[in-house]
Chain A
Amino acid sequence: MTDPTREAATQDPATPNGAEPVDSVEHAARTPELDQPYRELGLADDEYERIREILGRRPTEAELAMYSVMWSEHCSYKSSKTHLKYFGETTTDEMRAKMLAGIGENAGVVDIGDGWAVTFKVESHNHPSYVEPYQGAATGVGGIVRDIMAMGARPVAVADPLRFGPADAADTRRVLPGVVEGVGGYGNCLGLPNIGGEVVFDESYARNPLVNAMCVGVLKSDELQLAHATGTGNKVILFGARTGLDGIGGVSVLASETFSGDETGSGRKKLPSVQVGDPFTEKVLIECCLELYGSDLVVGVQDLGGAGLSCATSELAAAGDGGMRIDLDTVPLRAEGMNPAEILSSESQERMCAIVRPEDVDSFMAVCRKWDVTATVIGEVTDEEHLRIDWRGECVVDVPPRTVADEGPVYQRPVRRPAEQDLIAADDANTLSRPATAAELRETVLRMAASPNLCSREWVTGQYDHYVRGNTVLAQPSDGGVLRVDEETDRGIAVATDCNARYTRLDPYEGARLALAEAYRNVAVTGSKPVAVTNCLNFGSAEDPGVMWQFQQSVRGLADAAAELGIPVTGGNVSFYNQTGGDPILPTPVAGVLGVIDDVTARIPTGIGAAPGESLLLLGDTREEFGGSEWSRVVHGHLGGTPPRVDLARERLLADVLGIGSRDGLISAAHDLSEGGLAQALVEMSLIGETGARIVLPEEADPFVWLFAESAGRVAVSVPRGAELKFTELCSARGLPCSKIGVVDDESRALEIQGVGDIPLSELREAWEGTLPRLFG
């Protein structure tokens, strides 16, 4: 925790007697030749020149801070923008029909029927979480939750796709427990159930962990809030936590290199550049916001995240129809001696900015008082064209807001397919030596179940509250999380996130399509209909042409797949520079899919044994596909060949059949087949359902291929007695391959696989559940 008293007590040596000279617009105009530390702030020479051109003078210190942070890769998408356009180009009007807000808003919003809308988004907090795992992960949750609040929605669930270095690496033991505790510590305290997410281990994430955070919000479709500042004379209100010196990051360079070149400035206290979260403040802020929205007291609203007030004021003004004036002296601070650049760049958490009609200000303040939330009028919407910010009676920022928020640089980074791709593709995984005997197969089933990427996630997810709010119908270890939205009608939603970055490494285009196909399938196996896509694109350096090729291919793969599946991409997030030295992470385009389920009581669970006398059926085709497979990693430490084939028409067909099967009560359990193949799916269905099964191999099948191949488009289902014929007829009428692979055995305490042998559930459980507790305590 930040200690506000200590912070406040820190005397700024630059201002021993109070008044510090101000780098005003006027001063900037008078001192055009002054050296400015723009390179230290991450701006290139030509970017700095462009700012001077826009303004017709050098920027003030505060303006420089604003431009540098808003034109950063993180805020401006300058390397990705040119590729991301493809999402828009491939979205048809038909796909857009249910979209209430899309790319460019704080988060995408989708109409789910009955007057309800859902908003969802994933964001990365990778770098902060490596530096400070707990706070990095905690504030990642806090940030995405505020994005959802900014759409007018009540946040209702979170899910966290996490990726770490090798499970047994010393640094993973530092990073993982802190990240998990941070995700839990913040989300649990906000009262948001954590219903999904991923935990993946791979060498490439050592020193580059990926901490992505998803939040889902629900609103009435006519209650959508947008981030714009309209209506001359409307007030700009900053509310929530006070603004401090935390999370200033690169802008802190200005603290020691003030325009006057004051050496003593470098002696002032700096706080860590990773922000510090206070979930209690955010919880209260959520309730306060919802009451403000419900009372119709807000014209526009924006959360304060990366780039703090710089971002909120310039984006609100840029999206509005006029200008804005801000008086920085009114911003409530929790540190003394902060200069304008610091106030504008501070990433202090738990803050929001609202546009409020003058006649509503008193009512707005009354709601904030009820929730004990600090709220201050800091400015107003004007009919001018500029965003103008004053400090101590002088104008320190006078800029066209769109030049800050929307018109940042756009780069056409070099893109080049690395020659080594051919070598990797030629390194065929299908030629690796395989288990042959029953004993070897049995041993492989157990070894796979215990491997870090396939074992139980209970050590992680058991630290997350998935019950709070009382609407969680399915949560981990289910393939997708399912929430009830309406208690009267039982209408609900499902979410899942996925990416197998080994596939993306082998082929970024096909790998991205596989990621989306799997997230889509994970939503479908719950009985829900997939309706929209979001993404979080984690890659290495944008200045590496090979990485940019991976990025370009992944974007195209995701967009093309979304179009083929007929569901829109409603938003996304890009994180570049996930690399240490010359080694980038595996390209990791995480796909998130939102689904709708008309009746949550018809949801399909993962565990078998719920209905008496179930049969087990396998839907889809199994091929000899081991490129990028978990088996090739676990047993051979191998990554090569080509990823499994993708057939999106088949995925749609599967989703249709699962939807009908759920609605008509023909399916008692279902599990998507992915990493580890059929063997792993059967292990999990048995262990989660605490029930054994007898599995019979098709006569012509090669047991190894059949058990461990990772062919896409497959789902294992259990079908209650009496429903089998109806279900198989449903499949054959629609041309979906469906084969009976065994029966659930209520009496058996083992998974019995013909040609492999019996494995007692107790032995499987020990393998599956033992790994993470052994590694992380």
Chain B
Amino acid sequence: MSAAGARIGVITFPGSLDDGDARRAVRRAGASDVGLWHGDADLHGVDAVIVPGGFSYGDYLRCGAIAKFAPVMTEVVRAAGQGMPVLGVCNGFQVLCEAGLLPGVLTRNSGLHYVCRDQWLRVDNNTSTWTTRYEPGAELLIPIKHGEGRYVAEDPVLDRLEGDGRVLFRYVDGNPNGSRRDIAGITDERGRVAGLMPHPEHAVDPLTGPTDDGLGMFLSALDTLVAA
């Protein structure tokens, strides 16, 4: 498959906000972007899926708790089970946790305020589908913007995540939300499904973001798809 032949879907829920940004990032990485509608139980043959940031369905119950019941999510869960790469950013990370694709939950920031700022992250894992382009230990500057981004899980779950090398990114130079063990992003057992609170799609062009450090995530997935 050529890079442009790779089709990456981006879901739009009512209340999705960063779907346009995610699609722009996909194009910038050289792949084709495909819009997926929440009510449509069809992935339209895409090779990977991004669940973008926003406030799906208003997030009035609990972040991501309604979105997991969307018809499109049933298909995403099925496809992920068959090894399709899936990335959840911010609200998308919350949706993937609610849908059971990733362990843990995201709770209210320890500082209680919504935080929008440029955040340093350290790459802990560069073997997942979404992180192969990074050097281990590399530091990235990527925006965060959330009110409920504190990653929480039981100690045994955290121990297992760390033991299996499934922590993708950790916050450095200050933990912005009280996440346990400074965890900013994780992956599933196979390294195909990834979720993180920071927004790589907002760091693909230094004109509109602090850096282009986020582009590596989209390029990493594209490498896998092209090689397949």
List the B side residues contacting A287 at CB < 8 Å: 14
Docked complex Cα distance between A188 and B17 (Å): 9
Binds A, one of B70-78, B121-129, B202-210: B202-210
List the A side residues contacting B143 at CB < 8 Å: 467
Docked complex Cα distance between A468 and B113 (Å): 18
User: Is B46 an interface residue, CB under 8 A from the partner?
Assistant: no
With contacts A189-B55, A280-B58, A465-B145 known, is A184 near B14, CB below 8 A?
A: no
Bitwise, B170-210 to A at CB < 8 A (1) or not (0) is 00000000000000000000000000000101100001110
User: Is B160 an interface residue, CB under 8 A from the partner?
Assistant: no
User: Is A464 an interface residue, CB under 8 A from the partner?
Assistant: yes
- Closest chain A residue, CB of each to CB of B116: A465
Q: Which of B54, B59, B114, B115 contacts A191 (CB 8 A)?
A: B54
- Closest chain A residue, CB of each to CB of B202: A467
Binds B, one of A421-429, A469-477, A621-629: A469-477
Q: Please determine whether B15 and A469 come into contact, CB atoms closer than 8 angstroms.
A: no
List the A side residues contacting B199 at CB < 8 Å: 467
Tell me the residues in window 446-470 of chain A with beta carbons closer than 8 Å to chain B beta carbons: 461-470
Docked complex Cα distance between A184 and B114 (Å): 8
Docked complex Cα distance between A468 and B53 (Å): 9
Q: Please determine whether A191 and B202 come into contact, CB atoms closer than 8 angstroms.
A: no
With contacts A465-B145, A470-B201, A484-B208 known, is A189 near B58, CB below 8 A?
A: yes
User: Is B18 an interface residue, CB under 8 A from the partner?
Assistant: yes
User: Is A391 an interface residue, CB under 8 A from the partner?
Assistant: no
Q: Please determine whether B208 and A473 come into contact, CB atoms closer than 8 angstroms.
A: yes
User: Is B44 an interface residue, CB under 8 A from the partner?
Assistant: no
Docked complex Cα distance between A467 and B141 (Å): 14
List the A side residues contacting B202 at CB < 8 Å: 467, 470
Q: Please determine whether A469 and B20 come into contact, CB atoms closer than 8 angstroms.
A: yes
What number of B residues sit within 8 Å (CB to CB) of A? Answer: 27
List the A side residues contacting B14 at CB < 8 Å: 280, 283-284, 287, 371-372
Q: Please determine whether B145 and A470 come into contact, CB atoms closer than 8 angstroms.
A: no
What number of A residues sit within 8 Å (CB to CB) of B? Answer: 34
Bitwise, B24-38 to A at CB < 8 A (1) or not (0) is 100000000000000
Q: Please determine whether B18 and A468 come into contact, CB atoms closer than 8 angstroms.
A: yes
Bitwise, A147-187 to B at CB < 8 A (1) or not (0) is 00000000000000000000000000000000001001100
User: Is A92 an interface residue, CB under 8 A from the partner?
Assistant: no
Docked complex Cα distance between A109 and B14 (Å): 29
User: Is A601 an interface residue, CB under 8 A from the partner?
Assistant: yes
Q: Please determine whether B57 and A280 come into contact, CB atoms closer than 8 angstroms.
A: yes
- Closest chain A residue, CB of each to CB of B23: A470
Minimum C-beta distance from A620 to chain B (A): 29
Q: Which of B60, B114, B117 contacts A188 (CB 8 A)?
A: B114
Q: Please determine whether A467 and B55 come into contact, CB atoms closer than 8 angstroms.
A: no
Bitwise, A476-508 to B at CB < 8 A (1) or not (0) is 000000001001000000000000000000000
Q: List 12 A-B contacts (CB under 8 A).
A: A181-B114, A188-B145, A191-B18, A191-B54, A372-B14, A461-B116, A462-B116, A463-B116, A469-B21, A470-B24, A470-B209, A487-B24
14 new A-B contacts, CB < 8 A, other than A189-B55, A600-B207, are: A184-B114, A280-B15, A280-B58, A280-B59, A283-B15, A284-B15, A463-B114, A464-B116, A465-B116, A467-B143, A470-B202, A484-B207, A484-B208, A487-B24
Q: Give chain B's interface residues, CB within 8 Å of chain A.
A: 14-15, 17-18, 20-21, 24, 54-55, 57-60, 113-117, 143, 145, 147, 199, 201-202, 207-209
